[in-house]
Amino acid sequence: MLNHNKDILSINKSAKLMIGNENFELKRSRNILELTRNLEVIDKIDAALNENKHIVHDVETFDKHYRYYFSPVTEQNKTTVKGSLILIEDITIQKVSEIMRSEFTANVSHELKTPLTTMIGFAEMIKEGLITDHEGIEKYSALIHKEGMRLISLIEDLMRLSKIEENTSSIEEKPINIKEISQEVVNLLNSKAENHQINLSLKVDNVIMKANRNYINELLYNLIDNGIKYNKENGSVNINIYD
């Protein structure tokens, strides 16, 4: 809380910590400039006092993001400004989430563009008559199909992530048997592993945990599937889960 001269009337410990001057002591009337030299903050205080308006302003420090709310305190006539009330909110988690979401969107855009570019390139080769023999058309059609399936997989992942983000609070969790789910996933991927000459090894304790069965199933499937896809020839994927 400040008066019209920008002298500090009261301040709590949290505010001092967020401003970055936790050792500041208010034993007498002290001006806001003794607490902070942040010109952005001072400018917004001046605007709140001189223009009698509410202002919201974000301030970024070395490792934190804060949102300042500047509100003029007026006489009963609501025109004479007596001072300003300043509230500070820590929005670091929100800002970091926004940055991560932005980076994720950029990465996804790249991942979606790659298979599309490949598909268009192969399709144009066939369209322009650069590939005319049956064997060549069959080969590049298979590659287009493969990239199309990859694209669908990426889109499905995006839809699942969106659903998780929107409905995190309503995810159904029940006691599930990890050994049972692991065996089901391995059974599904056995033929793929054999085609890639990859040996699958499963050693799982009889673990019971409270979780969403579908999400755990997808997690294990994706991990093992990637282990097969990106493995070396005659390699192995070992799944060990202990209680």
Least Cα distance to 6 among 87, 85, 68, 88 occurs for 85
What is the pLDDT averaged over residues 69-77?
Answer: 88
Residues of the chain with CATH 1.10.287.130: 95-170
CA atoms of 158 and 173, how far apart (whole Å): 22
What was the pLDDT predicted at 178?
A: 92
**Confidence class for position 219, pLDDT limits 50, 70, 90:** confident
Share of the chain above pLDDT 70, in %: 95
What's the pLDDT score for residue 78? 76
pLDDT given for residue 218 in this prediction: 81
What's residue 26's pLDDT? 82
Output the six-digit token pair for 97.
Answer: 């989430």
Query: Which candidate, 222, 220, 218, 225, places its Cα nearest to that of 190?
Result: 225
Right CATH for 2-90 from 3.40.640.10, 3.30.450.20, 3.90.1210.10, 3.30.1600.10: 3.30.450.20
pLDDT tens string 39-62: 989 999 999 999 998 999 999 888
* pLDDT(21) > 70: yes
CATH class label, 174-241: alpha beta
Mean pLDDT of the chain: 85
User: Residues spanned by CATH 3.30.565.10 within the chain?
Assistant: 174-241
Question: Is 0.75 surpassed by the pTM of this model?
Answer: no
- Give 31's strand partners: 7
Q: pLDDT digit string (tens) for 121-180?
A: 888 888 888 888 888 888 888 888 888 887 887 787 777 666 666 555 556 778 999 999
Give CB contacts under 8 A, 24+ apart, made by 118-121: 118/143, 118/144, 118/147, 119/144, 119/147, 119/148, 119/151
Q: What is the pLDDT of residue 164?
A: 61
CATH for 95-170, among 1.10.287.130, 1.10.3860.10, 3.40.640.10, 3.90.1150.10? 1.10.287.130
Residue 208 has pLDDT above 60, yes or no: yes
Lowest-pLDDT range, 2-6, 30-34, 114-118, 155-159? 155-159
Distance (Å, whole) CA 206 – CA 178: 7
What are the pLDDT digits (tens) for 94-130?
888 888 877 877 777 777 887 888 888 888 888 888 8
